[in-house]
Amino acid sequence: MDSQKSPSDDAKAQEPNTGSLYLENSDLEGDTLREECGVFGIFGHPEAAAITALGLHALQHRGQEAAGIVSFDGTRFHSERRLGLVGDTFSRREVIDRLPGNTAIGHVRYSTTGETILRNVQPLFAELNAGGFAVGHNGNLTNGLTLRRELVRGGAMMQSTTDTEVILHLVAQSKRNHFIERFIEALRTIEGAYSLVSLTNKKLLGARDPLGIRPLVLGEFEGCPILASETCALDIIGAKYVRDVEPGEIVVFDERGAQSHKPFPPKPPRPCIFEYIYFSRPDSIVGGRSVYDVRKAFGAQLARESHVDVDVVVPVPDSGVPAAVGYSQYSGVPFELGIIRNHYVGRTFIQPTQSIRESGVKMKHNANRAAIEGKRIILIDDSLVRGTTSKKIVRMMRDAGAREVHFRLASPPIIYPDYYGIDLPDRGGLLAATHNLEEMRELIGADTLAFLSVDGMYRAMGYPGRDPANPKFSDHCFTGVYPTNLTDHDQVEPQPRQLSLLAEAS
């Protein structure tokens, strides 16, 4: 939580002069939910680093800014941490060869906390008096800044601007005799959301926060235990899913086998609802539910609540596709790919001149005129943040000849910020927090606009509705009900945005 990035606004990209049948990559990067992070670990396999790299490939959707792997060969730890995609570094054999050992952990990152610089890339590593300790973290600590300030006042020297480093220092300063006791003591101190994979010279550890806000699963491959953020990372290597790591559970793997520790008082789980709405891959199983099936159910419930007469259902790719399938199947309205996404346009595609940029070379989404011209369409997307992308897409549909454009969101209005690892703007930057429904409809230019209701979201998950006394999910972005203390947010004393003014090339 050191420094939160906000999605870009309209000022960050000029409008193309050639009409709006296309949307540029930068247009669609600016107004979307940002992925969190992904973690992976394996114990006891001779190809640990290569398997970890494959697992990170499957988790790439959870973070595209940096990736890292730390391995242990029985004597030394080895680390490779790089900015960019997993395939930019870890698809090369010479890199994997620099990560020997039969135990490894890996991390893909989106910078919800701290800048995107090499010193923030995880897994982080520290040399403790008991040996080396590496950790990768998915989530966000809601007291990380407060703890960091206390640690620095006590003489700690921080090397990164990420809250994960706090965990290293808490473990290092513990006076307990055994490492697992030191680890537990550190976890008792932190608040917020976390799924951790950690590596010592003897153990692989996984830990999940007491409410289970962030996911973590346990698998097995050729007799070796695996920890991963999602089941899709198990599928890519042919590993068997064993079970979810339980909320508040710490699992430990060493030469003696597996141990489970549950040091926290049990609480009703509150997993993050956005894992089902957006973050997890559709082919993953989260909390025993198929993410694909849940998103289809969101779409079907949306059709129950807000259908109007139209000719075709059009998803906003790729995140809106499963909900649009569910909407189409329930409503009986044909599903059409009215927007085609170019998957081969990278974020850093070089544009030689402004005129070529404006000519439509760098395009990520293209209107499929044949599917929408002259038709009444319903656009289905997963969520709405600032509304800038939705506005561009609606205009793109009208320019391609759509007779009516109705917009539907397969989640409730986002009206509160997140403090658990989702990179959302503050309330003032959330369209639904500053505009009513009619104002939002007018701003994005749709004929009608509707969101999935909060109760409808719960009904799609198999519940009668949301029980205010016992909500089943962390749904604070819609309800304002936060499941943990927000210590940093509630501090009167201004919090530092970064540790120092040091900037480094990376």
* Residues belonging to the active site: 37
How far apart are the C-alpha atoms of 217 and 227, rounded to whole Å? Answer: 6
Whole-number Å distance between alpha carbons of 166 and 47 = 31
Token code pair at residue 194: 């976390």
DSSP codes joined into one string, 403-432: SEEEEEESS----S---SS-----GGG-HH
- The angle at the Cα of 103, spanning 226 to 285, to the nearest 5 degrees, equals 15
Dist. CA 383–CA 452, nearest whole Å: 10
Residue with tokens 């939002």, as numbered in its chain: 440
Phi, psi dihedrals of residue 292, rounded to the nearest 5°: -60, -45
481 C-beta neighbours (distance < 10 Å), count: 13
Give ∠ CA 438-444-450 in degrees, rounded to 5.
Answer: 50
DSSP 228: E
> Which ranges of 318-473 would DSSP assign to H, the alpha helix?
321-331, 354-358, 369-372, 388-399, 431-434, 437-444, 454-460
Q: How far is CA 433 from CA 29, 53, 58, 477, in A?
A: 21, 40, 34, 10
> By C-alpha distance, which of 404, 280, 283 is closest to 338?
404
For residues 410 and 380, is the Cβ–Cβ distance under 8 A? Answer: yes
> Phi and psi dihedrals of 393, rounded to 5?
-70, -40
Torsion, Cα 116 413 487 230, to 10 degrees, reads -60
Residues in the chain: 506
Burial label for 128, CB within 10 Å (0-12, 13-18, 19+), is middle
